[in-house]
Structure 1
Amino acid sequence: MRAAETKQELVEQLVHVGRTAAQQGYVLASGGNLSARLPGSDTFLVTASGVWFDQLSPSDFATMDLTGEVLGDSPRPSSEWKLHQRTYRERDDVNAVVHLHPQHAVLVDALGYPIRLFTLDHAAYVTSIGRTGYYPNGSDELADTAAAEARRHNCVVLAHHGCSALGPDVGMAFRRATNLEEAAAATFRALTLGDTTTQFPADASARLHHP
């Protein structure tokens, strides 16, 4: 998925990601939300309140600016719009935020275990994982703590809630989200076998990001 150059392309990519996320079981019903920064601007698209990922259409997005003002399209942005807005304000390099409710990532974190990275893809795309405590959805506390974690991590687990994955474009944000959930599923399987230590070699990970 190449970086979108127009608003129409962004919408098409977000619709595709929403449908795929629902098919993969990363969200249920109207859970989760998606956003993308409009090319060359300080405005962003975010899914509207109450929409279902597998039924998204171009009318299911609100256009907002970084102050939190709704500029057009749907008048009712997701209740989690602050989660996206605060992240964009924190990271100029982030142009897409994918917020999902992946079952393994939430479960492993709730059980008190760190999500481990096992594969080359995990190490390359997820790299490191931040986390927040539990805060009510749509709250300033959730948005602010997630944005603070986003200073150092491209994937953030929101305790008892979901995750946010960030990227320079929609494709990379979703790639990171899928690899985070795969890593969490692998961690869960390893835990059922009694393994609490196996993970991608630290020296290989260091070389990967600092050749």
Structure 2
Amino acid sequence: MNDQLLELVDELSRVGADAVQRGLALASGGNLSVRVPGADEFAITGAGTFLDRLTVDTYAVVDLEGRTTDPSSSVRPSSEWKLHQRTYRARPDVNCIIHLHPQYAVLLDALGHRVRFFTLDHAFYVKSIGRTDFYPNGSDELADTAALEAGNHNCIIMGHHGSSAIGPDIEMAYRRAVNMEQAAEATYRALLLGDTESEFPPEQWEKLHHD
């Protein structure tokens, strides 16, 4: 890895630890990737790595054709590398992908409930949520459908599986991941109270994204 990518990997490793602490992922339940803007390769967490134990030695580097760029490395990329590769190819503006297994978002989706936005942060950072049906992890179907959804959304829920949040940098991708799960938890609590309609005012949402 060059110095720029090493610096980004260090930042992403801290995000992994924070995600586990917040309950957005358990152990190795998820995978993270980052690239230098404009680069044709990305660093991705290795197969089976715990997200709160990441170091520079737990990442693999993969190019946009799906080839590992250091064949001598003993680190195998996450089984979800295709999800990351195809999203980067679909969205040249994206430089970080946060794939986690957040419980509230996945539960609501499994029960057929839409995640609602309640706060300014939900509406501003998440904006909209795409979804895919369940496909086996690491499959072409999952990677392709998630990449298709990424064409219109920065946050995606994968049925009975997890979510992805993408952004131009690590900070924005993680802000989106955190706010999506917070919105999901708020939706869950609203449903427990019997509320099925409340959400951020639609007219304000339109103003927020079109001013």
TM-score relative to the length of structure 1: 0.96
For 1:201 and 1:127, locate their aligned partners in 2 and report how far apart those are by CA, in whole Å: 13
Report if the CA contact (8 A) 2:95-2:169 is conserved. Answer: yes
AA matched with 2:196: T
Partner of residue 132, structure 1: 132
Partner of residue 82, structure 2: 82
For 1:195 and 1:202, locate their aligned partners in 2 and report how far apart those are by CA, in whole Å: 17
Displacement of 1:41 in angstroms is 1.2
AA matched with 2:26: L
For 2:19 and 2:45, locate their aligned partners in 1 and report how far apart those are by CA, in whole Å: 14
Displacement of 1:142 in angstroms is 0.4
Deviation beyond 6 Å, 4+ runs, structure 1: none
Partner of residue 48, structure 1: 46
AA matched with 2:40: D
Displacement of 1:146 in angstroms is 0.4
Partner of residue 118, structure 2: 118
Do structure 1's residue 201 and structure 2's residue 201 form an aligned pair? Answer: yes
Displacement of 1:38 in angstroms is 2.4
For 2:74 and 2:177, locate their aligned partners in 1 and report how far apart those are by CA, in whole Å: 26
For 1:79 and 1:169, locate their aligned partners in 2 and report how far apart those are by CA, in whole Å: 23
Moved more, 5-14 or 196-205: 5-14
What residue ranges of structure 2 are gaps of 5+ in the alignment? none
Report if the CA contact (8 A) 1:6-1:39 is conserved. Answer: no
Report if the CA contact (8 A) 2:47-2:75 is conserved. Answer: no
Displacement of 1:40 in angstroms is 3.4
Displacement of 1:172 in angstroms is 0.5
Q: How does 1:29-178 map to 2 (within 5 A)?
A: 29-72=27-70, 73-178=73-178
**CA RMSD, Structure 1 to Structure 2 (Å):** 1.0
Report if the CA contact (8 A) 1:48-1:74 is conserved. Answer: no
Moved more, 5-14 or 127-136: 5-14
For 1:63 and 1:47, locate their aligned partners in 2 and report how far apart those are by CA, in whole Å: 9
Partner of residue 11, structure 1: 9
AA matched with 1:130: G
Partner of residue 24, structure 1: 22
Report if the CA contact (8 A) 1:83-1:138 is conserved. Answer: yes
Report if the CA contact (8 A) 1:132-1:146 is conserved. Answer: yes
Report if the CA contact (8 A) 2:46-2:77 is conserved. Answer: yes
